[in-house]
Chain A
Amino acid sequence: GAGVSQTPSNKVTEKGKYVELRCDPISGHTALYWYRQSLGQGPEFLIYFQGTGAADDSGLPNDRFFAVRPEGSVSTLKIQRTERGDSAVYLCASSFTGGAGVTEAFFGQGTRLTVV
């Protein structure tokens, strides 16, 4: 596709349930990032993939959060036992090679997760 695609656009789930959020990066982009944006805040880093491997997962808040990118393209962010505090917009971005800003990161439109 032409841009980064995230599905679903919106997700409402009950507290304690499991959710998966999907990100389709721009074709050929090796670097993929997940961010979380709480209401009224800037995005906060969660995890960075270079190819299939998680090169930096220091932003994952706890072990309920996990992300995979098995074939180096599509990534899935998985949240177990959701809590109301997990409610936020989850943004995905990809860039051609990564490189600390050398190549532009393109963002998707995010998934708005609401835990009720």
Chain B
Amino acid sequence: AQTVTQSQPEMSVQEAETVTLSCTYDTSESDYYLFWYKQPPSRQMILVIRQEAYKQQNATENRFSVNFQKAAKSFSLKISDSQLGDAAMYFCASPFGNEKLTFGTGTRLTIIP
């Protein structure tokens, strides 16, 4: 079975500081995409960052970066210079080579002013 695990139900960070959200997964596929999505109270899932498993270089999008460890099946998200607008639920997900995304249970991120 293909699974995504987020072991941190809640995290908080001081504004302007850095926070890391953890994600581990299990799959027998060798080539797949991994995603971090942000879900604010509006409920709309917004793609934050995407990583291709065959690429060793970690993806970066402005203040967001990942630490992808394929052998360990770990995919953590680092948010630098945290801003109040970053407060949301964050979900790790992957389609694991097919069309349907498998999501983790999410991490609620709170930004402390």
Listed in ascending order, the chain A residues whose CB lies under 8 Å from chain B are 31, 33, 35, 40-45, 48, 55-56, 58-59, 89, 91, 93, 98-102, 104-105, 107-110, 112
Given A40-B105, A42-B104, A101-B50, A89–B99 Cβ distance below 8 Å?
no
Tell whether, in the assembled complex, residue A100 and residue B45 are in contact, meaning their CB atoms are under 8 Å apart. no
Interface size class of B (residues with CB under 8 A): 20 to 34
Tell whether, in the assembled complex, residue B105 and residue A41 are in contact, meaning their CB atoms are under 8 Å apart. yes
Tell whether, in the assembled complex, residue B101 and residue A105 are in contact, meaning their CB atoms are under 8 Å apart. yes
Contact of B103 among A43, A59, A101, A102 (CB under 8 A): A43
Q: A41-B106, A43-B45, A56-B98 are in contact. List 9 more A-B contacts (CB 8 A).
A: A35-B101, A41-B105, A93-B45, A98-B99, A100-B98, A101-B50, A108-B44, A109-B43, A110-B43
A7 to chain B, nearest CB (A): 14
Tell whether, in the assembled complex, residue A107 and residue B45 are in contact, meaning their CB atoms are under 8 Å apart. yes
Listed in ascending order, the chain B residues whose CB lies under 8 Å from chain A are 4, 32-33, 35, 42-47, 50, 91, 93-106
Task: Summarize A's interface: helix, strand, loop or mixed.
Answer: loop
Residue of B nearest to A48 (CB): B99
Residues of chain A lying within 8 A (CB to CB) of residue B96: 100
Residues of chain A lying within 8 A (CB to CB) of residue B50: 101, 104
Contact of A33 among B46, B47, B100, B105 (CB under 8 A): B100
A90 to chain B, nearest CB (A): 10
Residue of A nearest to B52 (CB): A101
